[in-house]
Amino acid sequence: MEKELKDLSNESSVEDLDFEFEFEEQVFSKDSLPLGLNPSVDTESFVLPEGIRLDVGVTDVLGKSRSFVQGLISQECVVVNGLPKKANYKVRLGDKIKVTIPTPRESSAEPENIPLEILYEDEDVLVVNKPQGMVVHPAPGAWTGTLVNALLYHCDNLSGINGVLRPGIVHRIDKDTSGILVVAKNDSAHQGLAAQLKAHTMERKYLALVHGVMSEPSGTVDAPIGRDPSDRKRMAVVMQHSKLAVTHYTVLERFSETTYLEVRLETGRTHQIRVHMLYIKHPVLGDPVYGSKKNQFGLPGQMLHAAHLGFEHPRSGTWMKFDAPVPKTFALLIEKLRKH
């Protein structure tokens, strides 16, 4: 079915279109993008505004990065009127575009003897305090040294719902965010934990140091998050192709130029706290993507720590809660700020 993008309302997203599909966030080079794999995901034919570049228009539809779409185009996974075109092709009136998204070719993650700070473990779940600088699961640019590699060495069994590169992973935190994660050791536990995330009943509280002095004692940021239209590798508060995002924060301590916060997630969008803090003009200290370009304290990454996690045990139904102190770099910075 043909759809004019310009007719979509502000509330519309790619999920509203008839060619609805879902796929994991992946990064491909044009040489590594697989072809001809089954199952693959085909969109229905659609049209784009006349005169727009093919790669720009398809990027808007898919909500993916422009480099991802250019990889699809170079591998002839995007066709116009049944024929492949170049990325800079200018769409003509009546052109029918169709996209085929191949299933990524996954390789298995390998076990690695990496120390883990385990807060709790039983036959169903494992709760771990992830250090700053550790990637959660293998991905392009970080195939080894991840939390998953460490988990595979430590555990005999992990849930397989999220595939061979993300065994046991129910939720994620960013590489340079430290703190608590719960891991599922079987599919039943995974489904139970995922249901709590979806229902927003899992408690997730973070500690953050942000730029600027907040005057109000607490607040809520209720602003939808989606891909930044000017930089597809970033997220931003946007009205189109976005999802509901709600963040609550409470001031714990104020310093001369910074504020120490407790932040509670109601939803769990990609980079949510970092994006929302930037949106209210209080970006997280040390954030290399959303923060100030001037790293005055020489920080290794954002001062954001997943300090508290609460959930219902997927088998017993018992409410469980865990807390982890901020890492040394974070704690030392707080001491330094208190002295000034």
Nearest residue to 104 (alpha-carbon basis) of 187, 150, 172, 39: 39
Q: Is 228 a catalytic residue?
A: no
* Residue 110, φ and ψ in degrees, nearest 5: -105, 145
Residues in Cβ contact with 151 at an 8 Å cutoff, skipping those fewer than 6 apart: 116, 126, 128, 158, 167, 168, 183
List C-alpha distances in Å: 307 to 114, 268, 284, 288: 22, 15, 16, 21
Is residue 134 a contact partner of residue 123, using CB atoms and an 8 Å limit?
A: no
Residue with tokens 């966030």: 25
Whole-angstrom distance, CA of residue 18 vs CA of residue 175: 35
Q: Would you say 120 and 127 are in contact if contact means Cβ atoms under 8 Å apart?
A: yes
Helix, strand, or coil (residue 317): coil
Q: Which one from 174, 176, 287, 323 is the annotated catalytic residue?
A: 174
Q: Token pair of 212, please?
A: 């600027």
Residue 125: which of 315, 271, 269 has the closest Cα? 315
Residues known to be catalytic: 174
